[in-house]
Amino acid sequence: MRSDLPPAPPFGAALPLAASPETLRFLALRRSVSAVALVGPGPDAGQLSDLLRLATRVPDHGKLAPWRFIVLDGADKVAFAGGLEGLARDRNDPLLAGKLAKLKAPPLAVAVISSPKPGAIPEWEQLLSAGAVCTSLVTAALAMGFGANWITDWYSYDSEATAILGLGSAERVAGFVMIGTPKEPPQERERPVLDPLVTRWSR
């Protein structure tokens, strides 16, 4: 079943620029859900396709699309986690194996891969765009009624793990976005106090 989204607008179409109090309220209360508290069902094929489409509607200097997705679910996700368990075993490190709970629990993991393109656009900006994709994917999944969490953990940085995932030499994991149904509603976490974070530049 597809979610009730408008189709992708054609290039050049006039788009609405309207206030959205519902969106503001959603942003004021949105909260990631612990990955180990995510269970099935996850998004179906149509919902996943919608989520990925929404996640790519991000600022992208030079329109390079310097990112891609690797979807992990079902038996293939189990096999991927098994490969990582093998790495943890080889290194005799139970802490590494324990960290895999966040990957194993949710029904769906989407690896957002930063895939920078050579040229004039600074790599830093392309990495930031990949981060924006992660944020948008988490936000869209929450707005669709799922729980979601942006996780990196050791297997995002380990070269043997990223080889199992199939990354190219210039690519990096921006995040694994874990998606599923929350076992329980999330609780508010500590939030930063705004005042010390804001200054006003003046002459």
DSSP state of 202: -
Residue 105 DSSP symbol? S
Task: With CA atoms as reference, report the closest residue to 133 among 26, 38, 60, 77.
Answer: 60
Please identify, using beta-carbon distances, which residue of 52 and 178 lies nearer to ligand FMN.
178
Residue 175 makes contact with ligand FMN by CB under 6 A = yes
Q: Which residues contact 172 (CB under 8 A, 6 or more apart)?
A: 113, 114, 127, 156, 162
Stretch that binds ligand FMN, among 4-12, 48-56, 69-77, 149-157 (CB under 6 A): 149-157
Size of the site for ligand FMN (CB under 6 A): 9
> In this structure, are strands 67-73 and 172-182 parallel, antiparallel, or unpaired?
unpaired
Q: Which of 56, 114, 136, 149 binds ligand FMN (CB under 6 A)?
A: 149
Between 62 and 131, name the residue whose CB sits nearer to ligand FMN. 131
Confirm if 115 and 171 have CB atoms less than 8 A apart.
yes
For ligand FMN, give the closer residue by CB, 23 or 152: 152
Is 31 a binder of ligand FMN (CB under 6 A)?
Answer: yes
E strands, the chain, where?
38-39, 67-73, 108-114, 147-151, 172-182
Q: Is 120 left (phi over 0), alpha (psi -120 to 50) or beta?
A: alpha
Least CB distance to ligand FMN at residue 105 (A): 12
Residue 20 is a binding residue for ligand FMN (CB under 6 A): no
* Interface region with ligand FMN, contact rule CB under 6 A, candidates 69-77, 147-155, 164-172, 177-185: 147-155
Binds ligand FMN (CB under 6 A): choice among 3, 68, 125, 150:
150
Q: Is 153 in the site for ligand FMN (CB under 6 A)?
A: yes
- Which residues are CB-neighbours of 153 under 8 A, at least 6 positions away? 99, 102, 103, 176
Contact call for residue 98 and ligand FMN (CB under 6 A): no
Minimal CB distance residue for ligand FMN: 32
Query: Which residues in this chain contact ligand FMN in the complex, by CB under 6 A?
Result: 31-32, 149-153, 175, 189
